[in-house]
Amino acid sequence: VSVAVYLGSLGRAVPPEQATVSVFDRGFLYGDSLFETLRTAEGRPLDLEAHLERLRSSAAYVHAQVPWSDAALADALAQAHAATGNAESVLRLIVTRGRGPLMLDIRGACDPELVVIARPLVLPSEAEYQRGLAVVCVTGRKSDGRLLDARAKVGNYLPHALALAQATDEGADDAVLVADDGAVLEGPTANVFLVRDGQLATPPIDAGVLPGITREVVLTLARAASLHVAVRRVTADELRRADEALFTSSVRGVMAITRVDGRSLGDSREGPLTRALRSAWAAYVAARP
């Protein structure tokens, strides 16, 4: 199993043990960094333009600099992937605000760091996709959709990590973050959809969720298949009573949610609409140049 790391400060990919970042880097000190997680398809990063666009809008929300061109970022991704020797990779692209004098003030930061970690792409098995995930709803970790930086993919994922920890402590596979007013937001690393009476619904971005690239693709695929899709407020109660629910994310694609807070959705297996969207997603990935 081969892992490789491209470091902007070196300008090349190296084995993981040679890839080091300063302890004064604000990514380390404050989670003051941006990131994107992508997968390759036939060796090329999937939806690269959308990921680079989101990286730049995340940077704008938090007043960070990304002083590399899209071509330079694409080259860093390609070098990291090539250095692994694997057919397909999961690529984590990280841009930190750089080093600072141990003070919160962002004006003191210099030398943003660019890191790409490439590791082998491992997808859930067919049986895992069909079994789906048991989730629990977690409140009190993320609540305010009015904060613009709720839409930025920044390094500090502690609220999401703690939501996941709560879910696994309770014996579930994953969490769904729910706002204080009962509105469903997203999973720790995925957007959420539900199906009720043949209709799909997913929360709007301004509820305080990451503008997921897979969410957008799935919305397009669903509309192309003439499914009825609403982007609207979804409550945790509704999620518990849904016929089907699913997560979308760049690596797993479409993953069924088959239990919510201990209650089965449908017959506790991936439902027909989720199945159709997973197939449509697989066809979308296979059709990438």
Ligand X SMILES: Cc1ncc(COP(=O)(O)O)c(C=O)c1O
| Per-residue x/- track, 141-160, ligand X (CB under 6 A) | -------------------x
Candidates 27, 112, 155, 212: give the one binding ligand X (CB under 6 A): 212
Shortest reach from residue 43's CB to ligand X, in Å: 19
Sequence-ordered list of residues with C-beta below 8 angstroms from that of 254, at least 6 positions apart, any chain = 214, 218, 246, 247, 248, 274, 277, 278, 281
Q: What is the rounded distance in angstroms from the CA atom of residue 252 to the CA atom of residue 172?
A: 18
> Which C-beta is closer to ligand X: that of 81 or that of 99?
81
**Minimum CB distance to ligand X smaller for 40 or for 250:** 250
Number of residues that bind ligand X (CB under 6 A): 14
Choose which of 37, 57, 79, 139 interacts with ligand X (CB under 6 A): 37
Q: Does 40 bind ligand X (CB under 6 A)?
A: no
- Using CB under 6 A as the binding rule, whether residue 214 contacts ligand X is answered as yes
Of residues 232 and 263, the one with the C-beta less far from ligand X: 232
Q: How far is the CB of 51 from ligand X (least distance, A)?
A: 7
Identify the bridge partners of residue 39 per DSSP, sorted by sequence position: 90
The piece of 20-28, 59-67, 104-112, 205-213 that touches ligand X (CB under 6 A) is 205-213
Per CB under 6 A, the list member of 86, 249, 258, 274 interacting with ligand X is 249
Buried b / exposed e over 200-215, threshold 16 CB at 10 Å, is: bbbbebebbbbbbbbb
Q: Is 58 in the site for ligand X (CB under 6 A)?
A: no
Structure-token pair, residue 89? 């990779």
Q: Measured between alpha carbons, how far is residue 284 from residues 46, 104, 218, 278 in Å?
A: 10, 43, 10, 10
Strand order in the sheet with 33-41: 12-14, 4-7, 114-120, 89-96, 33-41, 44-45
210 contacts ligand X (rule: CB under 6 A): yes
